[in-house]
Every structure is written in C-alpha cells, then in structure tokens.
Amino acid sequence: MTIADRARGCLLGLAAGDALGRPAENLTPEEITRRWGRLTELEPGPDGVAAGTDDTEYAIFVGLLLETYGSALTSEDVARTYREQILPISGPMKGAGFSELGTVEALRRGLEPPLTGLWHRHGWSDGLAMRSAPYGVFAAGDPAEAARLAAVDGAVSQNGEGVHGGRAVAAAVAVAMTGAEPDAVVAAGLAAVPADSWTARSVGAAIRIAASRDDLARRLHAAVVTRHYPWTDLAPEAVALAFAAYLAGGGDVEESAVTAVSLGRDADTTAAIAGALAGAGRGEGGIPARWARAIGPARGACLPTVAGRDVREVADALVRRRMSG
C-alpha cells in the first residue's frame, strides 16, 4: 500500500468519523442507543454530501499550512495564518470550539504565542487533537516529528493537556501510516506525552479497558470521563475514548468510528480521531464505499477559506510536500 493511499484513507476516515458523529455530539451512550440503536450511517445534506464540522475544516486548515510551510512551520506562521484567514470572519464563528474562539480573541488583543494559548484558559480542549492527523500524515513513520509539529501549532491555541492531546494523535497517526498494528499505534501516541500527565493516565486506562469490549461505554466513562465538568471537549478524555474505540474496533475503519460514536460525549471528534487512525492503517480502500461517496468538498461553514477543498486533494498535497522536502 502506498503512502498516498494511506494519506487519503486517513483524511477520509477523519471526515467520515466527523460526519458520523455530528448528530450524536454531546449525547450520552444511552441516548444514542435510544435514538439510533447503533449509528452507522452518515446523514447527507440536500446536495447528497455529508456535513462535517470544524474537525474536518480545521484538519484541512492544517493540511494547507503544511503544504505551504512543511517541516519549517513555526508558531508565528500559524498565528499569521489565523490573522489572515480566520480573524477576518465576520459574525459568529459557527461551530468553533472554545480554544479556537479564545485564540481569535487573544490575537485580536495583540497577543503572540505562546500567550495566545495561555490567556484564554481553555488550553486543555481537544481543538488541537481534532486537527492533528495531518501532522502524522506529513511525518509518516516519524512520530517524534509529527508530535513536534503538532506542538508548534498547539502553542498558538492550547497549553498543557491540550498540547499533549494533539501530540498523542499526531504521533499515533504517524505510526498508523506505516501499517502498524493498533496496539503499536496507540503505544506511540502514549509515548509522545509525559508519563505523569492527565492524558497519559486517561489513555493508559482506556488501553486496559479496550482489551475487553465487555460493557465498554460504562467502564470507559467511569475511568476517563470528567462528570463534574459541563462540557465534553476535554482533550485527555476525547483522546482516550478515541484510542479505546480504535483498539476495540481492531483498526477497522467502520467499527472504530461507529464504536467511538457509541461512546457519546464529543462524538464527532472522537470518531474523527478513531477514523483517521484506522484510515491511515487500512488506506483509502478501507473506508466504507458508502461513506466515501458521501464525503465531498468542505462547505466552509466554520472556515470559509477552506470551502471547496476536498480531503482527498489535501491528502495528495501533503504527500507531494513531504516528498519535496
């Protein structure tokens, strides 16, 4: 299998997982079961294209950053691109997460990274984790480099656990791009974060629980979900749930993404991450054909500058940039 095939599989898996999880975002496993039984189908819009969320559009944003800057990417480059492409958005930023909204406000106040990721106090969110798969595609086979690039981006919008979550996803995708087994992929993600971090503890618990699928949702929620916090976008929680779903799904794209959605919470993000990992491992042919047909160009609902961009084209551009140095 070629790296180009795996790159397409990764970003298609991300987009499909995102679209699959969109209607289940913030719901409990019990409510998801009540509404759908098991949610397996992408909901197409009037044009037949399944609508993703900010997860897909920010992943495209990262892909375009890498196409421009490659391994020389700096936090200043990321901040400048925010100013050029995101700050001019008029009106509300539809679908944007806390960390992205806080970053925009920090930049408008004239702050520079890393203060932009520290000032808004939402640096623990999964905003970086949701968009970090392209770093793993670009640095395929080099998890340390993938994690480094994710942290460069994260310095603009995140801090602490939010950066750890992005590093874990990027490193895991980099190893999945080699065709490694799911256990090795998740181990690489775990190795990319400090052993004493909240993210590492959550991922470690998820690995142990995923070894047996019995009562998966209840046991994962008991171990990694922060019940007293009113939002679901905590990076340690989302990454742990996504990795557990990918392991429980055996690296199969559909089973991994559907399992992630069934766990509830930030379902579009967890399914996007699980789908990206599985798609990198199985390639474009591993994406269910009915899902692949439903993925079209981004609408630009959250980021107008990525409207019309197809994740397949972004994947191809990442591979070309990687080969060109």
Does 54 appear as a known binding residue? yes
Pairwise CA distance, residues 68 & 64, whole Å = 6
Does 266 appear as a known binding residue? yes
Does 310 appear as a known binding residue? no
Pairwise CA distance, residues 101 & 126, whole Å = 13
Tokens at residue 287, please? Answer: 């994406």
Does 53 appear as a known binding residue? yes
Residue 283: CA atoms inside 13 Å, Cβ hemisphere, count?
8
SS3 category, 50: strand
Q: Residue 110: what residue type?
A: G
Instruction: State the DSSP code for 125.
Output: B
Does 268 appear as a known binding residue? yes
Does 142 appear as a known binding residue? no
∠ CA 269-275-277, nearest 5°, is 105
The crossing angle, in degrees rounded to 10, of helices 311-324 and 3-21 is: 140
Pairwise CA distance, residues 156 & 298, whole Å = 24
Give CA torsion, residues 279, 283, 284, 287, to 10 deg: -40
Per 3-state DSSP, the chain is made up of helix, strand and coil in percentages (nearest 5) of 65, 0, 30
Q: Residue 104: what residue type?
A: V
Q: Which residues are annotated as a binding site?
A: 53-55, 266, 268-269
Annotated binding site for Mg(2+): 53-55, 266, 268-269
